[in-house]
Amino acid sequence: MMEAKAELRKIVAFSEKEHEVFVANKKLEIVDYHLQNNVFYKDLVGTTTFTSWEDLPVLNKKNLQKPLLDRLSKEYSTKNSYINKTSGSSGTPFIFAKDKYCHALTWASNMYRFGWYGIDFNTSYQARFYGILMDFIGNKKERFKDFLGHRFRFSIFDLSDEVLEGFLNHFRTKKFNYINGYTSSIVLFAKFLQKRNIVLTAICPTLKVCMVTSEMLFEEDKILLEKQFGIPIVNEYGASELDLIAFENPQDEWQVNSETLFVEILDENNKAVPNGTSGRIVITSLFNKAHPFIRYDIGDIGILDEQSTLQKPILKKLIGRTNDVAILPSGKKSPGLTFYYVTKSIIEDDGNVKEFVIRQTKIDTFEIEYVSETELNLAQIEKIEKAIALYLENDLVFIFNKKEKLERNKSGKLKQFVSFVK
């Protein structure tokens, strides 16, 4: 770990020119390594040499739907590598590997960025809003890991007012230094505090910062969190198989990790798009020798800021997953988050709706499941339908279902929009 921290410090200190040379060398080095030592990657590329970066294939999650042992490099096994599984929020879960040094660099990268806000993983106490295994042994293992990692975990599968009241009591009695976890759960806790007219730092003054991850953070939700928590809100974007991809810096820029990753934004022909243009987020892990993640399509769409440089890329916008697209009767395609955002601006006006999800069940039919103290009235429903007609198109059918709670996936994430139309 000390070696990884030292290497990261060295990379961070590079001049712009030194960084350019470093990235060029690491790209060549990691591709050459996998072409010589990884049968899976050599078969994917179709050769043991390559002439240009752009000629390399774009790796996708379907390529990885084969046993891990068939994808590991020579000299690496499940015993001498870090092994984990993606959450499956993209619909395509898979098992992956990192060599031990790459994994140590991932932790060094996390520590470096959290350090921007005065958070020390070894001593700072974390309030963790995540899912947890519910079986007895799995639950105890997770709780023990949390204890060792200076974390207290709030299980987010039940977020009723009674449970949130219990969360609040923990903040009264524990000296938390930061909050970290899934966006939707943390926003729901902030709404609970708003209803009770409580600012969290008034009862837990040791809090310094809140990091939200794994789900979209909308601007008005960020404002709500800042108001109800009384601390800076940091937007984090990462992938377990890679590293932290982007992390909001103290200047409110969503700074992309250029130390352990090389991030490209590509069009449908796998060509790089100009900064300021949307495209598929494709990432290369510069250090992972155990398993190739070279030009890996993570399944998200995003935009790099026009001011981005190779050394300091800035993520201007994360639009959502490539598979979160609504196909409409007219043939028009629209990001699912457009539906979610338009509905959100109306559905939360009265303060009764805690959270909701949208599911496209037919090409013209959308089900909106929501948690609320009262049913949506006709005026609210008509307002939603009119707004969606204005932004998207007419003659869409909406079915509204009030729920006691929404179903989250096994890890505790809430998928805000999903389409079952192929």
The CATH code of the domain that includes 145 is: 3.40.50.980
Query: Which pLDDT does position 23 carry in this prediction?
Result: 98
> Residue 164's pLDDT band (boundaries 50, 70, 90)?
very high
Query: What CATH number has the domain bearing residue 400?
Result: 3.30.300.30
Partner residues linked to 261 by β-bridges = 285
- Please give the average per-residue pLDDT across 370-397, as a whole number: 85
**Under 8 Å between Cβ of 31 and 38:** no
Highest mean pLDDT among 78-87, 199-208, 232-241, 295-304: 199-208
- Please give the average per-residue pLDDT across 215-236, as a whole number: 92
The separation between CA 104 and the C-alpha centre of its own chain, rounded to angstroms, equals 20
More confident residue, 86 or 24: 24
- Work out the angle between the directed axes of helices 336-347 and 378-391 (0-180°, nearest 10): 140
Q: Tokens 């050599």 label which residue?
A: 42
Query: Which pLDDT does position 69 carry in this prediction?
Result: 93
Query: Which pLDDT does position 260 carry in this prediction?
Result: 97
Q: Over 90: is that where the pLDDT of 140 sits?
A: no
**Residue 366 shares a structural domain with residue 315:** no
Query: Which pLDDT does position 29 carry in this prediction?
Result: 97
Domain count of the chain? 3
**Residue 195 shares a structural domain with residue 251:** no
Highest mean pLDDT among 42-51, 196-205, 235-244, 326-335: 196-205
> Residue 68's pLDDT band (boundaries 50, 70, 90)?
very high
**Residue 32 shares a structural domain with residue 73:** yes
Please give the mean pLDDT across all residues of the chain.
89
| DSSP SS3 for 171 | helix
Question: Which pair of tokens denotes residue 199?
Answer: 């600012």
More confident residue, 344 or 376: 376
More confident residue, 73 or 407: 73
CA–CA separation, 315 and 216 (whole Å):
14
- Please give the average per-residue pLDDT across 40-48, as a whole number: 92
Q: What phi and psi, each to the nearest 5 degrees, are found at residue 111? A: -60, -40
**Under 8 Å between Cβ of 216 and 197:** no
The separation between CA 267 and the C-alpha centre of its own chain, rounded to angstroms, equals 21
Query: Which pLDDT does position 374 carry in this prediction?
Result: 85
pLDDT tens-place string over residues 194-224: 999 999 999 999 999 999 988 788 888 999 9
Residue 386 structural domain: 325-419
**Residue 376 shares a structural domain with residue 307:** no
Q: Residue 106's CB: how many other CB atoms inside 10 A?
A: 23
Query: Which pLDDT does position 408 carry in this prediction?
Result: 78
Partner residues linked to 418 by β-bridges = 359
> Residue 246's pLDDT band (boundaries 50, 70, 90)?
very high
Contacting residues for 187 by C-beta, under 8 A, at least 6 apart: 221, 224, 225, 355
**Residue 55 shares a structural domain with residue 195:** no
CA–CA separation, 93 and 22 (whole Å):
32
Query: Which pLDDT does position 159 carry in this prediction?
Result: 81
**Residue 44 shares a structural domain with residue 125:** no
**What are all long-range contacts of 101-104, with beta carbons under 8 Å and residues at least 24 apart?**
101/3, 101/4, 101/287, 101/289, 102/260, 102/285, 102/287, 102/288, 102/289, 102/290, 104/1, 104/3, 104/4
CA–CA separation, 225 and 193 (whole Å):
10
- Does residue 44 fall inside a structural domain? yes
Q: Over 70: is that where the pLDDT of 81 sits?
A: yes
Q: Residue 92's CB: how many other CB atoms inside 10 A?
A: 14
> Residue 52's pLDDT band (boundaries 50, 70, 90)?
very high
Query: Which pLDDT does position 216 carry in this prediction?
Result: 80
The separation between CA 221 and the C-alpha centre of its own chain, rounded to angstroms, equals 16
- Does residue 352 fall inside a structural domain? yes
Question: Which of 277, 304, 321 corresponds to the end of one domain?
Answer: 321
- The amino acid at residue 183 is T
Question: Which of 199, 214, 231 corresponds to the end of one domain?
Answer: 231
> Residue 416's pLDDT band (boundaries 50, 70, 90)?
confident
- Please give the average per-residue pLDDT across 233-254, as a whole number: 93
Q: Following DSSP, what letter does each residue of 216-273 receive, concatenated?
A: ---HHHHHHHHHHH-S-EEEEEE-TTS-EEEEE-TTS-EEE--SSEEEEEE-TTSPBP
- Does residue 310 fall inside a structural domain? yes
Query: Which pLDDT does position 365 carry in this prediction?
Result: 92
Cα dihedral 316/320/323/324 (nearest 10)? -140
Q: What's the full length of the chain, in residues?
A: 422
Rg (CA), the chain: 22
Q: Over 70: is that where the pLDDT of 67 sits?
A: yes
- The amino acid at residue 46 is G
Q: Over 60: is that where the pLDDT of 90 sits?
A: no
Question: Which pair of tokens denotes residue 247?
Answer: 């992390």
Query: Which pLDDT does position 420 carry in this prediction?
Result: 84
- Please give the average per-residue pLDDT across 351-375, as a whole number: 87
Q: Over 80: is that where the pLDDT of 340 sits?
A: no
Query: Which pLDDT does position 155 carry in this prediction?
Result: 80
> Residue 88's pLDDT band (boundaries 50, 70, 90)?
low
Q: What phi and psi, each to the nearest 5 degrees, are found at residue 325? A: -120, 135
CA–CA separation, 147 and 367 (whole Å):
41
**Residue 315 shares a structural domain with residue 398:** no
CA–CA separation, 58 and 48 (whole Å):
16
Query: Which pLDDT does position 134 carry in this prediction?
Result: 56
CA–CA separation, 422 and 409 (whole Å):
21
Highest mean pLDDT among 3-12, 149-158, 382-391, 408-417: 3-12
**Residue 173 shares a structural domain with residue 215:** yes
**Residue 253 shares a structural domain with residue 398:** no
> Residue 89's pLDDT band (boundaries 50, 70, 90)?
low
CA–CA separation, 388 and 384 (whole Å):
6
- Please give the average per-residue pLDDT across 390-416, as a whole number: 82
Query: What CATH number has the domain bearing residue 67?
Result: 3.40.50.12780
Q: Over 60: is that where the pLDDT of 419 sits?
A: yes
> Residue 355's pLDDT band (boundaries 50, 70, 90)?
confident
Question: Which of 285, 306, 321 corresponds to the end of one domain?
Answer: 321
Nearest residue to 296 (alpha-carbon basis) of 92, 106, 104:
92
- Please give the average per-residue pLDDT across 349-354, as a whole number: 71
- Does residue 113 fall inside a structural domain? no
**To the nearest whole percent, how much of the chain has pLDDT over 70?**
93
**Residue 163 shares a structural domain with residue 227:** yes
**Residue 209 shares a structural domain with residue 242:** no
- Does residue 66 fall inside a structural domain? yes
Contacting residues for 351 by C-beta, under 8 A, at least 6 apart: 191, 195
Nearest residue to 64 (alpha-carbon basis) of 92, 103, 33, 99:
92
More confident residue, 59 or 349: 59
**Residue 277 shares a structural domain with residue 329:** no
